Structure 1
Amino acid sequence: MLNLENPFLFAIGALLIVLALVIDRSRRKSGSWALPLGPPGGASFEAPVGAGMAVRAIMAAEILGAFSLLAAASGPRSLSMELVWLERGADIVMVVDASPSMSARDMDGTSRFELAKNLVRDFAAARGADAIGLVGVGSDAALLVPPTIDRKALESRLDSLSIAEFGEGTALGLGLSVAALHLSSSGAKRKAAVLITDGENNAGEIHPATAASILRSTGASLWVIGVGGAGEAEIDYVDPETGRRRRGVFDSRYDQESLAEIARAGGGVFIGAPSAQSFVRAFARVGEEEPTSALWRSRLRATSLHAPFVIAGMILLLLARLSRRYALGAFL
């Protein structure tokens, strides 16, 4: 919403500009008379057709330039409402499996991986006070985004995260260890890690149950979401190393008990999500059972628009001045 910090100044200035135009116009009419130019009985002098239009265009530029500078002096600003959280929320790290099997398109036509990223994005958007972090898992694991309330940074890295970015294995223990390392130094009252995977641990030097125990010692809660069901599933992804598209069918199955064991080792909860609907419900449950800050207030945020009006006004007045001096002479 556009707003002026000093609308009274703008109103007075606009009134003076209009009054000056009226006075100038009345003076021109009262102080002028017809003086025929040309030989007696001959054709009278007439200004070229384009001259009148040029004069009007120059005057319009001068008026708009004056109003732009007046608006700049009146404090133009854009107003928007924003939420201010009065206490720190939870620190939550999303540990996302990016192995090739996550490209299986058995989530109502969407891949497990894309739906997982969409649900993480929606989860973060609904919890403005919480700092959300992101860990990517493959044959290796890495912290991609430390816990932050900067949703643009999180969404940007989520968008760029790709299948097989960290290799074709599934190092669940490493992923949980990375989450535990960063949550151990967190000063938040509530901490949590959410592991999203469709496979068993088959890479890395750390057993996932050991990593889950370390995570538990930091005071963080653990959620393990097992994605996908049993049976044949189509996979389709682009290998980030070769740039070649890989497609095929694989026998989708994982040991739910092994994932449940990881959850138990971390004192957490395992949720099976064989379908898109159950996947959505799993995230809804995490959102409901992980408390977040409820204390907030709204604040009016003002963004100054002073510079654009000054620049526009100066350009218009400069163009009008140059046009009067050089371009208008071509018509006369």
Structure 2
Amino acid sequence: MFEFAWPWLLLLAPLPWLLRVLLPPADSGEAALKVSFLSELEGLSGRRARANLPAWRQQAPFVLLWLLLLVAAARPEWVGDPLPLPASGRDLLLAVDVSGSMAYSDMQWQDEEISRLELVKKLFGDFVEDRRGDRIGLILFGSRAYLQSPLTFDRHTVRVWLDEALINIAGPQTAIGDAIGLAVKRLRQRPADARVLVLITDGANNGGQIDPRTAARLAADEKVKIYTIGIGSDPRQSGIMGMLGLNPGVDLDEATLIDIAEQTGGTYFRARNAEELSDIEEALDRLEPAAQLPTRARPALALYCWPLGLALLLSLGLVGNILWPQHLQTLRSKFGGRA
């Protein structure tokens, strides 16, 4: 079926005529010579003088050009019949801790030490990209929780935003309860069997307005399943830094993370190194997808290029019609009328 995407633009068709009527006529600033023997001059020169107002034949190309541009701007398109789209999967929010302790470099990646946040980016970036059929969203939390990306099928953009996350961008503390509360707010309107939150942190709740266990009860009431991941090496594995008491891993509140997962029907995972975090990613990939509401889409073939191309050809013709007589006149003047 033929239709316009923006048909209201066609209402601008009388705009040039309105401007001609409403605006004052242009004044060249030069005196005009009026003669009463114009017809005799036309007979001697063999050319017809141009009238004060152009005839309708002279105006027609410009009117046609304006209409072609309007039709192209209104975006004509051929729209096909609605087609069903497969829509199975989950609404999955990934909540990542970006507090100061996530900068601690106690993780190994390809034989070099990297920070906890960098390891999460490397492993869960692939996790996000592989979630075909799922809508993915991203929450970053520190002292406060922020929705970095709403639920979307654009997995690549979510991965880019995860890669661009910075330490302390949301504050130096850890507001686990606020992150859960924000996730519940975003997931509560989605199908009840498709609400999943994956929460990654390396510390205990020491910021925000909501207690994590209270937020977990709210999530359970809204049927939001939460998978919690505690990241960070054991204090005994951190060498001299651990002996000096500089390992933030001792702050991890595993009891609270376990309770949050159990209240909501999820699972708690402990990631002490890259291998364990990779195993957790594979375990999450084995979650059963939940059917969502079916969606339908109508394929559309854009046709604006045709009127736009005709307008371009007409413009070139008008320019040639104006410049060519002037070029001939220049040649006649230069070669004594032999051109």
- In structure 2, the CA distance between the partners of 1:149 and 1:162, relative to structure 1 (3 Å rule), is same
Gaps of 5+ in 2: 1-84, 309-339
Matching residue of 1:174? 178
Shift of 1:145: 1.0
Matching residue of 1:250? 246
Paired residues, number: 241
Runs of 4+ in 1 over 6 A off after TM superposition: 301-304
Shift of 1:302: 11
Shift of 1:157: 2.0
Shift of 1:293: 6.2
> 1:1-332, aligned counterparts within 5 Å?
85-87=86-88, 89-105=89-105, 106-108=107-109, 109=112, 110-187=114-191, 189-230=193-234, 231=238, 250-254=246-250, 255-258=252-255, 259-291=257-289
Deviations 1:154-205 (A, max 9, x none): 1332232211001100011111111111111113641110000111111112
Deviations 1:26-46 (A, max 9, x none): xxxxxxxxxxxxxxxxxxxxx
3-state DSSP of counterpart to 2:108? coil
3-state DSSP of counterpart to 1:165? coil
> What is the one-letter code of the residue matched to 1:273?
A
Gaps of 5+ in 1: 1-83, 235-248, 312-332
> What is the one-letter code of the residue matched to 1:183?
L
Alpha carbons 1:232, 1:250 under 8 Å: kept:
no
TM (norm. structure 1) is 0.57
- In structure 2, the CA distance between the partners of 1:213 and 1:188, relative to structure 1 (3 Å rule), is closer
Q: CA RMSD in A?
A: 4.2
TM (norm. structure 2) is 0.56
Shift of 1:291: 2.6
- In structure 2, the CA distance between the partners of 1:153 and 1:303, relative to structure 1 (3 Å rule), is farther
What percentage of residue pairs aligned between the two structures are identical?
Answer: 32
Deviations 1:11-52 (A, max 9, x none): xxxxxxxxxxxxxxxxxxxxxxxxxxxxxxxxxxxxxxxxxx
Alpha carbons 1:225, 1:273 under 8 Å: kept:
yes
- In structure 2, the CA distance between the partners of 1:250 and 1:216, relative to structure 1 (3 Å rule), is same
Whole-angstrom CA distance in 2 between matches of 1:303 and 1:188: 36
Whole-angstrom CA distance in 2 between matches of 1:260 and 1:144: 26
Shift of 1:96: 0.4
